[in-house]
A and B are shown apart, each in its own frame.
Chain A
Amino acid sequence: MSQTDIYTLAGAALFVIGLYGLITRPHLIHKILALNIMSGGVFLVFVGIARRVMSPDPDPLPHAMVLTGIVVTVSSTAYALALAKRIYSETGMAALDAPDVIEEPEASSG
């Protein structure tokens, strides 16, 4: 198994794990995190593809795309988080559906 395969398989795994979390977790913060995990998976696939060039320096194109992708992801995540927070302060809900199931996680006395 080559280095590329290790990275791309790990990326695929993260993508699927994130997708599962996105579908099953109603909490908005969980959904946003799940999407971030999926993006992380995609970035790993890029990194794996960059590693195919066996000179000391990897292919710079995928690295540049990952860096651009990170900034774009930071931007959309920041907006999504601000939106989730505003929804929570307006409605007291941290989820879009089934509001009866969702409550603020209880803080323990410690």
Chain B
Amino acid sequence: MASVMPKSPRSVRLAAAALCAGFGALLVRAVLAIPEDHPGLAPVVAERIAESGVEHAVTAVLLNFRSYDTLLEIAVLVLATIGVLSIAGSHSSVWAPVAEEADPVLSALARLLAPFMVLASGYLLWAGEHAPGGAFQAGSVLGAAGVLLALSGYARPAWVSRFGLRVVISVGLIVFLAIAVGVMFLGGALLEYPDGYAKALVLIVETWLTVSIGAILVSLFIASASPIEELRARAGDGR
């Protein structure tokens, strides 16, 4: 593969190397000075985890102690998706098949695999309560299933309208916001789950987040993907 990678002039590279070396030396000094025995907030989390509704500490931090971060993080994801849609041209191209005529083997395999990927996604969602896992991991697997189907020539089902697409992209954020604000009517602060309801509410939020994250990842992929035919044509035209 004789590809020509563009490079900056030698003077720029030397200056950059000098800059990065100097900066790197300062950085090494700073990270080596990090105290080795600081417990951080781990003891505080350990003390309060019983009240969080979940057993896994990272999930407890993400979906309860610092759920506000997660709420804003999902907002970033939805926002970036809207941004991609806004520059990707026509809305109708979203969730179109990436390949017109897919390999029949790939196509059959994708059909076989997709249900298992949905199952795996469900497992990851459930496992997040007590082990590594959770909405983002589950959503990623769901999204991967969607990308695989798109690559195998499957379009979005006809019953998913443009509006339906917007709903599925934003439903996770909307449910999360509804719960965040809804608990305020029960007398708590924003995102303050009432006693005994934390587990159920976290599960509802995570389930809808999984759906949205899956849909978002598929949308992001397809909105910026070139149709495979175009890529093949470009690779094959002998340039």
Q: Given the known inter-chain contacts A79-B83, A103-B6, A105-B4, please indicate yes or no for A49 contacting B34, CB distance below 8 A.
A: yes
Which residue in chain A gives the minimum CB-CB distance to B40?
Answer: A59
Q: Given the known inter-chain contacts A9-B28, A68-B69, A72-B73, please indicate yes or no for A106 contacting B4, CB distance below 8 A.
A: yes
| A30–B40 alpha-carbon span in the complex (Å) | 36
Interface pair A27/B6, CB less than 8 Å apart: yes
| A75–B69 alpha-carbon span in the complex (Å) | 15
Interface pair A60/B45, CB less than 8 Å apart: yes
Q: Given the known inter-chain contacts A49-B34, A61-B40, A61-B61, please indicate yes or no for A16 contacting B6, CB distance below 8 A.
A: no
Interface pair A82/B84, CB less than 8 Å apart: yes
Tell me if B's interface is mostly helix, strand, loop or mixed.
Answer: helix
Interface pair A82/B88, CB less than 8 Å apart: yes
**Which A residues are in CB contact (< 8 Å) with B165?**
none
Interface pair B62/A64, CB less than 8 Å apart: yes
Q: Given the known inter-chain contacts A82-B87, A109-B238, please indicate yes or no for A24 contacting B224, CB distance below 8 A.
A: no
Q: Given the known inter-chain contacts A24-B13, A105-B4, please indicate yes or no for A81 contacting B61, CB distance below 8 A.
A: no
B-to-A contact residues, CB < 8 Å: 1-8, 12-13, 16-17, 19-21, 23-24, 27-28, 31-32, 34, 36-42, 45, 57-58, 60-62, 66, 69-70, 73-74, 76-77, 79-81, 83-84, 87-88, 136, 220, 223-224, 226, 234-235, 238-239
Going nearest first, the 6 A-B pairs with the smallest beta carbon separation are: A60-B57, A75-B80, A105-B3, A64-B61, A8-B31, A16-B24
Would you mind naming 25 contact pairs between A and B with Cβ atoms under 8 Å apart?
A: A9-B31, A12-B28, A23-B20, A45-B31, A49-B40, A52-B36, A53-B40, A53-B42, A60-B61, A61-B45, A63-B61, A64-B58, A64-B61, A65-B69, A67-B58, A67-B136, A68-B73, A75-B79, A78-B224, A82-B224, A85-B224, A86-B87, A103-B6, A106-B2, A107-B235
